[in-house]
């Protein structure tokens, strides 16, 4: 227990210290974690920590990340990506594998070893690339989408590779390797080992079908069941359960857990719980990936690196140049242009974390001799370490040169809802309908599942979740939003939310619902400037109806109401500027004075003295007097 | 034309429909605006041989008795009133023989007389005929360009107001601009 706490403390402090510094210096979080790992590696050695096993654990962060990526991708979008996924991804993996294999053979490796090396090095780092793309907001760009397609194909390709590698076993290594392979962590949980080919296919198919069907039909009742407990942590627990459960299922049937959770994400992308799931799993993903990057940094075997420094560096640079060249050629063929082409080329030039997995497996399966594998491990690590540097090159040197093509991407970001509506009850619902019918994109947040399900039936899209949670607002895209409409019921929550948004996102326009006059003052001092009292307009309209029914001419009634509105508004502005949230209203002398004046005017108005409204609308067209007419006639006769 | 007008520095551009989407015109603000300026120009398309309704509402309320006309109503005396209008019909429609039956200025008589009663000078309107086809024929761009010149000339006192007063209508071809030397 103590040892665990010490380790956790060590990893956390390394991350907490290194990442902010790296971000500040513009290096990005990934490099920060990697450097943190390098920094604590001597300590870990002294403590005799098994970094590699922690790394295997932390790789689950990649699985979570793919779940999150899936949540962002609707099935329709995935289908639209199919050419890139198969064409771009397939070509990248096969061409890189073959060329690396050729070079390895030229360097004197037997063909089977060379092929295994080719497969190991063809893969790129999903963790680093997706994390960086998300951080920079480039996921939706052409380059980001292409990179993602290739990474997804690679994640899928790992499975046949794992199946294929044992066939390459070297006879002279086999005697040592067999024992290890038998205990290797790969096969131990597999259900499908003993089955023949068609049974395997059937089981695989059933597992995928289970994920798709379960995701579509089971989540809603389960969520409703959990909502009954009214405990927020239960949602988090369920989300974790969901991801871990799917990962386990996939391992059992011999599929990639990353692929399985990705599929589950895609299935749930259309559900109203999407943002809730996103914000629940987000912190876990972030921490695990951070841990993963730290272990990558910490796992560098420095003695070995120094011993073969020249060779390792040359191999790393050679590999990255080669991969970049292949990516560049592919991007030309697939028409990725401008800054996107460079993003794609530089972003995917490294080897990745699946390289670690495959290397461990190749050694265990007696395909690659351990000495070669150790060197390759260094190459993979070093290339991952260099990737953030390439992203910096892209940011500083390449992106500015293609300023024009970036502008085009702005359109695609518009796809995100640019108005967030918090609360979809009687108030928010109407706002949503008006905005939607005017062609604006909205994201609706509400935490009453029944209300959301009712909406779903009418084709209105809403997401489950409490708008008071910053992480949920983030998931709903508050950074890119133009406007937040706060239409929730609770007075204090509204004020709190206005505070939070106007302080942290001053560019987001706020339309806030106020419950009463006093609430308006609170919201005003909290930073809202567009404040609507929830019953005010209906009361005013009711007043107009009453006037009309009492025989006042409808147009006069209308004008009287408008005058009332204008006066009331001026009054509110006056009072709001005097209001101080830190002093109770009755102890604020200026506020009390103004209130008294207001009441006096109001009473006059109530007594039927309509001039008391003092409205500018009381001024209408006035006919000229008879004197005027005479004056004009005189003037005209003189001309 | 609105964009061209907004781009000219040194003049005040007012979009009445923007300021008063619910037609509740603020008479005090509008009267102050009139007092602050020497030339008042109404820019609008012609709707049914007159201005759009908000300009009529504006006239009804802002040109108040005692302010613009009548006893004590000399606040606008000596100022200039101008129009910049676009008409759907072609130029030859606005003749005694054309399908509109009357010259354009006939339809603008109520405004002309309004100016007169307020002791304002009414000068020839800046007109684009056949406005529906104008974007296609390139007339619109020329008209907008002329409009910018016109506004800048008014601002710089290089618009020949006396000459314009004697003209029937002004177009981008016959802008009465004063020579630089004279101004």
What is the model's pLDDT at position A307? 86
Predicted pLDDT of residue A466: 78
- State whether A620 and B60 contact (CB < 8 Å): yes
Share of chain A above pLDDT 90, in %: 14
- Arithmetic mean of pLDDT, A507-525: 91
* B23-41 as b/e: b if 16+ CB within 10 A: ebbbbeebbeebeeeebbb
Above 70 in pLDDT, residue A639?
no
pLDDT of residue A178: 43
Q: What share of chain B is helix, strand, coil (3-state, %, to 5)?
A: 40, 15, 45
Q: Do B69 and A628 touch (CB under 8 A)?
A: yes
Q: Can you tell me the distance from the alpha carbon of A67 to that of A70, in angstroms, rounded to the nearest whole number?
A: 5
The C-alpha of B117 sits at a distance from chain A's nearest C-alpha, in angstroms, of: 8
Residue B14: the pLDDT is 94
Residues of B in contact with A632 (CB under 8 A): 117
Residues of B in contact with A625 (CB under 8 A): 65, 70-71
pLDDT value, residue A618: 59
Verdict on whether the full-model pTM lies above 0.90? no
What is the rounded CA–CA span in Å between residue A587 and residue A213?
Answer: 62
Q: Distance from B70 to chain A by nearest Cα, in Å? A: 5
- Report yes or no: A617 at the B interface, CB cutoff 8 Å: yes
- Number of Cβ pairs closer than 8 Å across A and B? 31
Angstrom CA distances, A603 to A503, A560, A587, A609, A615, stand at 39, 16, 23, 9, 16
More confident of the two residues A29 and A189: A29
Nearest CA in chain B to A635: B117
Higher pLDDT among residues A117 and A634, named by residue: A117
- CB pair distance less than 8 Å for B27 and A628: no
pLDDT for residue A412: 35
Label residue A431 exposed, middle or buried (CB < 10 Å: 0-12, 13-18, 19+): buried
For the ranges A27-41, A527-541, B23-37, which has the lowest average pLDDT? A27-41
**Residue A81: its pLDDT value, please?**
82
Per-residue pLDDT tens for A298-350? 888 888 888 888 888 999 999 999 999 999 999 888 888 888 888 899 889 98
Residue with tokens 């009331």: A568
Is the Cβ pair B24, A619 closer than 8 Å? no
Q: What are phi and psi of A93, to 5 degrees?
A: -65, -50
Contact of A517 with A532, CB cutoff 8 Å: no
Check if the beta carbon of residue A390 is closer than 8 Å to that of residue A147: no
Distance CA A378, CA A316 (A): 9
Whole-angstrom Cα distance, residue A486 to residue A508?
A: 12
Query: CB-based contact (8 Å) between B116 and chain A?
Result: no
Share of residues in chain B with pLDDT > 90 (%): 66
Specify the pLDDT at position A195: 67
Question: What is the Cα A298 distance to its own chain's centre?
Answer: 28
Q: Which residue has the tokens 């299922």?
A: A249
B71 touches chain A (CB under 8 A): yes
Pairwise CA distance, residues A65 & A157, whole Å: 18
Of B87 and A461, the structure prediction assigns the larger pLDDT to B87
Residue A540: CB atoms within 10 Å = 16
With H, G, I as helix, E, B as strand and everything else as coil, classify residue A483: strand
**pLDDT class for A638, splitting at 50, 70, 90?**
confident
Does residue B106 surpass a pLDDT of 80?
yes
CB atoms within 10 A of CB A47: 12
Q: Any idea which residue has 């007092």 for tokens?
A: B35
For residue B128, pLDDT over 90 is answered with yes
Whether A365 and A171 have beta carbons less than 8 Å apart is answered as no
The pLDDT, as a whole number, for residue A403 is 59
Mean pLDDT of A84-95: 89
CB contacts of A566 in chain B (<8 Å) are 24
Tell me if residue A485 falls in helix, strand or coil: strand
A541-575 per-position pLDDT tens digit: 999 999 999 999 998 888 888 888 888 888 888 88
pLDDT value for A179: 42
Work out the average pLDDT over A100-125.
90
Write the Ramachandran bin of B102: left for phi over 0, alpha for psi from -120 to 50, otherwise beta.
beta
Closest CA to B88 of B128, B33, B140, B121: B128
The answer to whether A146 touches A84, Cβ cutoff 8 Å, is yes
- Any A CB within 8 A of B72 CB: no
User: What's the whole-number mean pLDDT along residues A84-99?
Assistant: 90
pLDDT of residue B58: 94
Residues B140-157 have pLDDT tens digits of 999 999 999 999 999 998
Least confident of A185-199, A260-274, A459-473, A547-561: A185-199
Q: Are β-strands B80-86 and B121-122 bridged in parallel, bridged antiparallel, or unpaired? A: parallel
Helix (H, G, I), strand (E, B) or coil at B82: strand
C-alpha–C-alpha distance, residues B62 and A592, integer Å: 36
Interface contact B74, partner A, CB < 8 A: no
pLDDT tens-digit profile of A597-630?
A: 877 776 676 565 554 444 445 566 677 777 877 8
Across A105-109, A204-208, A542-546, which has the greatest mean pLDDT? Answer: A542-546
- Decide if A636 touches B, using CB distance below 8 A: no
* pLDDT for position B34: 95
Task: Output the pLDDT for position A183.
Answer: 41
Q: Are A388 and A452 in contact (CB under 8 A)?
A: no
A-chain residues near B24 (CB < 8 A):
562, 566, 616-617
Q: Report residue B11's pLDDT band, with 50, 70 and 90 as the boundaries.
A: very high
Q: What is residue A600's three-state secondary structure?
A: helix
Share the mean pLDDT of chain A.
Answer: 81
Structure-token pair, residue A468: 């008071």
C-beta of residue A484 within 8 angstroms of C-beta of residue A467: no
Average pLDDT over residues A414-431: 78
| Residue A386 pLDDT > 90 | no
- Kindly give the residue spans of alpha helices, DSSP state H, lying in A73-218: 75-80, 82-83, 89-106, 111-122, 126-136, 142-164, 171-183, 197-217
More confident position, B100 or A400: B100
CA distance B27 to chain A (A): 7
Q: How far apart are the first and last CA of chain B?
A: 26
């Amino acid at each position: 227990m103590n040892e665990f706490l010490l380790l956790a403390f060590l990893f956390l402090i390394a991350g907490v210290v290194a990442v902010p510094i790296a971000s500040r210096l513009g290096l990005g979080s990934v490099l920060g974690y990697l450097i943190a790992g390098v920094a604590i590696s001597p300590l870990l050695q002294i403590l005799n920590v098994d970094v590699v096993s922690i790394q295997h654990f932390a790789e689950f962060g990649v699985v979570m990340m793919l779940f999150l990526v899936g949540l962002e991708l609707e099935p329709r979008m995935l289908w639209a990506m199919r050419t890139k996924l198969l064409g771009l991804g397939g070509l990248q993996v096969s061409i890189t594998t073959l060329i690396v294999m050729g070079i390895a053979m030229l360097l004197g490796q037997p063909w089977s070893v060379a092929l295994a090396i080719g497969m190991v090095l063809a893969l790129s780092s999903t963790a680093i690339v997706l994390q960086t793309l998300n951080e920079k907001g480039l996921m939706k760009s052409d380059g980001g989408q292409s990179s993602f397609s290739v990474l997804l194909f690679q994640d899928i390709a790992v499975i046949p590779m794992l199946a294929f590698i044992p066939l390459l076993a070297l006879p002279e290594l086999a005697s040592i390797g067999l024992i290890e392979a038998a205990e290797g962590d790969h096969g131990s949980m597999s259900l499908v080992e003993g089955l023949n080919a068609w049974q395997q296919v059937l089981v695989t198919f059933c597992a995928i079908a289970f994920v798709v069907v379960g995701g579509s039909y089971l989540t809603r009742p389960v969520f409703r069941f959990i909502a009954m407990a009214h405990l927020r942590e239960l949602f988090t627990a369920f989300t974790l359960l969901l991801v871990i459960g799917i990962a386990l299922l996939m391992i059992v049937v011999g599929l990639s857990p990353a692929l399985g959770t990705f599929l589950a994400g895609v299935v749930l992308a259309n559900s109203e719980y999407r943002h809730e799931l996103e914000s629940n799993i987000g912190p876990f993903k972030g921490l695990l990936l951070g841990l993963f990057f730290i272990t990558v940094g910490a796992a560098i075997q420095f003695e070995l690196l120094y011993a073969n420094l020249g060779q390792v560096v040359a191999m790393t640079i050679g590999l990255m140049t080669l991969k970049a060249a292949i990516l560049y050629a592919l991007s030309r063929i697939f028409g990725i242009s401008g800054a996107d082409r460079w993003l794609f080329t530089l972003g995917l030039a490294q080897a990745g974390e699946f390289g670690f997995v495959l290397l461990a497996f190749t050694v265990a399966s007696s395909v690659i001799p351990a000495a070669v594998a150790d060197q390759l491990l260094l190459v993979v690590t070093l290339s991952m370490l260099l990737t953030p540097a390439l992203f910096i090159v892209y940011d500083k040197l390449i992106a500015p040169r293609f300023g024009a093509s970036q502008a085009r991407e702005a359109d695609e970001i518009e796809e995100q809802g640019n108005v967030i509506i918090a609360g979809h009850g009687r108030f928010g619902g109407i706002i949503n309908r008006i905005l939607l019918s005017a062609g604006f994109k909205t994201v609706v947040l509400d935490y009453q599942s029944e209300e959301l399900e009712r909406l779903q039936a009418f084709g209105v899209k809403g997401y489950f979740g409490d708008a008071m949670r910053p992480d949920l607002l983030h998931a709903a895209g508050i950074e890119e939003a133009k406007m937040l409409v706060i239409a929730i019921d609770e007075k204090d929550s509204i004020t709190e939310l206005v505070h939070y948004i106007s302080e942290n996102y001053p560019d987001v326009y706020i339309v806030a619902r106020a419950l009463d006059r006093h609430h308006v003052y609170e919201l005003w001092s909290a930073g809202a400037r567009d404040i609507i009292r929830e019953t005010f307009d209906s009361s005013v309209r009711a007043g107009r109806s009453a006037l009309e029914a009492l025989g006042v001419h409808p147009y006069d009634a209308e004008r009287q109401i408008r005058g009332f509105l204008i006066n009331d508004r001026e009054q509110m502005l006056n009072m709001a500027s005097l209001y101080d949230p830190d002093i109770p209203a009755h102890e604020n002398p200026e506020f009390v004075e103004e209130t008294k004046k207001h009441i006096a005017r109001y009473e006059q108005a109530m007594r039927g003295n309509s001039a008391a409204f003092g409205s500018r609308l009381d001024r209408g067209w006035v006919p000229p007097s008879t004197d005027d007419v005479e004056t004009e006639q005189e003037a005209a006769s003189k001309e | 034309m609105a964009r061209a007008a907004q781009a000219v520095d040194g003049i005040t551009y007012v979009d009445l429909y923007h300021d008063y989407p619910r037609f509740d015109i603020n008479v005090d603000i509008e009267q102050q605006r009139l007092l602050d300026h020497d030339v008042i120009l109404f820019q609008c398309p012609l709707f049914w041989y007159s201005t759009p309704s908000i300009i009529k509402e504006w006239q009804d309320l802002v040109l108040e008795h005692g302010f613009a006309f009548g006893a004590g109503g000399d606040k606008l005396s000596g100022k200039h009133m101008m129009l910049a209008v676009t008409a759907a019909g072609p130029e030859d429609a606005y003749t005694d023989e054309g399908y509109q039956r009357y010259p354009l200025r006939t339809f603008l008589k109520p405004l002309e007389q309004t100016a007169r009663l307020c002791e304002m000078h009414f000068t020839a309107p800046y007109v684009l005929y056949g406005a529906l086809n104008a974007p296609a024929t390139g007339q619109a761009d020329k008209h907008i360009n002329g409009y910018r010149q016109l506004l800048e000339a008014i601002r710089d006192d290089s618009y020949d107001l006396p000459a314009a007063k004697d003209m029937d209508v002004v177009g981008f071809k016959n802008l009465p601009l004063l020579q630089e030397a004279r101004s």
